[in-house]
A and B are shown apart, each in its own frame.
Chain A
Amino acid sequence: MRSSRIPGRRLFRFPWRTAAQVAADVDEELQLHLDLVAEELVEAGWSPEAARAEAVRRFGDLEGTRRFCSSLDRSKETQMKWKQALETLGQDLRFGGRQLWKSPGFTFAAVLTLALAVGASTSIFSVVHGILLRPLPYPQPERVVRLYQPTEDGRVEGGNFSVPTFVDWRHESRTVSAAAAYRYGNLILASSAEAPERLIGMWAGADFFRVLGVRPLAGRWFAPDEEKAGAPRVAVISEKLWQERFGRDPGVIGRTLRLNGEPRTVVGVMARKDMYPDFVDVWLPMVFAEEESQNRGTIFLDALARLAPGATLDAARTEARVISSRLAKQYPESSPGLVIDMKPLQEVMVGDVRTPLLVLLGSVLFVLLIACANVANLQLVRASAREGEVAVRTALGAGRGRIVRQLLTESVVLALTGGAAGVALAVWATKALVTAAPQGTPRIEEVAVDGPVLLFALAITLTTGLLFGLAPALQASRPNLASTLKEGARGSRGRASTRARNFLVVAEIALAVVLLAGAGLLLRSFAQLQKVDLGFKSAGILKFHLSPPQTKYPGDTELRLLVDRLLDELDQLPGVEAAGATIWGMPLISGENVLGFSIQGRPPKPPGQEDSIRFAMVSPGFFRTLGIPVVRGRDLAARDRDGAPPVLLINQAAARQYFPGEDPLGKRIAFSSERRSNLNGAEIVGIVGDFKQSTLEEEVAPQAFLPVAQAPLPRSSLVVALRTEGDPGAVVAAARNRVREIDPDLPVYAVRSMEELVSASAAQPRFYMLLLGGFAFVALVLAAVGIYGVIGYTVRQRTQEIGIRMALGASRDRVLRMVVRQGLTLAVIGAAAGLAGALVATRWMQSLLYQVSATDPAIYSTVAAVLVLVAAIASWLPARRAAGTEPQLALRGQ
Chain B
Amino acid sequence: MPKSSLDLLHGTVAVLILKALTWGPMHGYDISRTIRMRSDGALGLEDAALYQALHRLEKKRWIDAEWGLSENNRRAKFYRLTDEGRRQLDTEVTSWRAYVEAVSKVLETA
Contacts and interface: CB of A to CB of B under 8 A. Distances in A.
Contacts of A3: 24-25
A2 B1 contact: no
A763 to B, nearest CB: 66
Contact of A4 (B25, B51, B59, B70): B25
A60 B47 contact: yes
Interface stretch (A30-38, A374-382, A677-685): A30-38
A59 B46 CA distance: 6
B28 interface: yes
A25 B78 contact: no
A29 B76 contact: yes
Question: Contact size class for A?
Answer: 20 to 34
Most chain-B Cβ atoms within 10 A of its Cβ — which of A33, A62, A68? A33
Interface in A1-18: 1-5, 10-11
B97 to A, nearest CB: 29
Contacts of B75: 28, 32
Interface in B21-74: 24-29, 32, 46-49, 51-52, 55-56, 58-59, 64-70, 74
A58 B29 contact: no
A76 B67 CA distance: 17
Contact of B26 (A2, A64, A68): A2
Contacts of A64: 48
Contact of B59 (A10, A62, A75): A75
Contact of A37 (B29, B76, B78): B29
A61 B47 CA distance: 9
Interface residues of B, number: 31
Contact of B51 (A28, A69, A76): A69
A65 interface: yes
B87 interface: no
Most chain-A Cβ atoms within 10 A of its Cβ — which of B28, B48, B59, B80? B48
A73 B67 CA distance: 14
Contacts of B58: 73, 76
B59 A65 contact: no
B65 A11 contact: yes
A72 interface: yes
Contacts of A61: 48
A142 B16 CA distance: 67
A717 B29 CA distance: 99
Contacts of B70: 1, 32
A30 B65 contact: no
A29 B78 CA distance: 10
Contacts of B49: 60
A73 B52 CA distance: 11
B48 A1 contact: no
A4 to B, nearest CB: 6
Contacts of A4: 25, 64, 66, 78, 80
Contacts of B78: 1-2, 4
Given A29-B77, A60-B46, A60-B47, A65 B29 contact: no
A59 B48 contact: yes
B29 A62 contact: no
Nearest to B65: A11
Contacts of B27: 29, 32-33
A72 B56 contact: yes
Contacts of B26: 2
A59 B47 contact: yes
A624 to B, nearest CB: 94
B76 A68 contact: no
Contacts of A62: 48
Contact of B52 (A2, A33, A69): A69
A69 B55 contact: yes
Given A68-B55, A72-B59, A76-B59, A33 B47 contact: yes
Contact of A32 (B48, B56, B76): B76
Contact of A11 (B29, B32, B55, B64): B64
A118 to B, nearest CB: 41
Contacts of A36: 29
A1 B47 contact: no
Interface in A40-72: 58-62, 64-65, 68-69, 72
B98 to A, nearest CB: 31
A26 B75 CA distance: 12
Most chain-B Cβ atoms within 10 A of its Cβ — which of A26, A29, A60, A68? A29
Given A29-B77, A32-B29, A1 B68 contact: yes
B51 A33 contact: yes
A46 B68 CA distance: 29
A72 B55 contact: yes
B47 A58 contact: yes
B68 A32 contact: no
A58 B64 contact: no
A76 B59 CA distance: 6
Contacts of A72: 55-56, 59
B55 A25 contact: no
Contact of A2 (B25, B59, B64, B65): B25
Contacts of A28: 75, 77
B64 to A, nearest CB: 6
B52 A68 contact: yes
A296 B92 CA distance: 93
Nearest to A64: B48
A33 B26 CA distance: 12
A25 B48 contact: no
A30 B69 CA distance: 15
Contacts of A5: 66, 68
A33 B47 CA distance: 9
Given A36-B29, A68-B55, A76-B58, A11 B66 contact: yes
A5 B68 CA distance: 9
A4 B68 CA distance: 9
A68 B55 CA distance: 9
19 contacts: A2-B26, A3-B25, A4-B25, A10-B66, A28-B75, A29-B77, A32-B28, A33-B47, A35-B74, A37-B29, A58-B47, A59-B46, A60-B46, A60-B48, A65-B48, A69-B55, A73-B58, A75-B59, A76-B58
Interface of B: 1, 24-29, 32, 46-49, 51-52, 55-56, 58-59, 64-70, 74-78, 80
Given A2-B25, A29-B28, 4 more contacts: A1-B70, A32-B28, A32-B29, A58-B47
Interface of A: 1-5, 10-11, 25-26, 28-30, 32-33, 35-37, 58-62, 64-65, 68-69, 72-73, 75-76
Q: Which 5 A-B pairs rank lowest in CB-CB distance, beginning with the nearest?
A: A60-B48, A59-B47, A36-B29, A69-B55, A65-B48
